[in-house]
């Protein structure tokens, strides 16, 4: 693990479940986004401010999720997020989703730093400290 592990919680909404009563698989990607935004806040900045003030966006270029045990309506789910790799133009996050001590799913997203036009840029200097560089 490279970066600080940040934890946040969600409660599964009925709308997030499918006909079988389990969380629809795509919602885990949404939860990863929730965890990533919580990570940014916990380490010292608001993600929206990086977009607004520095014109830098973390575009998802790869996402994966391994499902182990289904979450269900009204479950309390603990989300964990941390940085596993950081370069001048890319960042990789890892995730865990748990109900109590039970591991529900793990995931990973890879992001490229982009400007508002979609051009790859370097991580702005003011934000580099929040994403420890990989060696």
Distances (CA, A) of 117 to 50, 65, 114, 134: 15, 28, 8, 27
Active site (annotated) includes residue 101: no
**Strand 102-114 vs strand 76-86: parallel, antiparallel, or unpaired?**
unpaired
Residue 81, CA distances (Å) to 7, 9, 127 in order: 7, 11, 18
Catalytic residues: 18
């Amino acid at each position: 693990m490279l970066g600080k592990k940040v934890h946040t919680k969600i409660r599964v909404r009925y709308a997030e479940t499918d006909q079988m009563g389990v969380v629809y698989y795509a919602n885990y990607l949404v939860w990863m986004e929730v965890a990533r935004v919580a990570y940014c806040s916990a380490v010292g900045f608001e993600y929206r401010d990086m977009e607004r003030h520095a014109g830098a966006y973390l575009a998802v270029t790869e996402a994966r999720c391994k499902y182990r045990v289904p979450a269900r309506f009204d479950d309390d789910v603990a989300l964990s997020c941390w940085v596993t790799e950081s370069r001048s133009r890319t960042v990789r996050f890892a995730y865990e989703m748990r109900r109590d001590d039970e591991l529900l799913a793990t995931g990973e997203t890879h992001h490229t730093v982009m400007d508002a036009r979609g051009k790859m840029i370097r991580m702005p200097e003011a934000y580099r400290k929040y994403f420890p560089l990989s060696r």
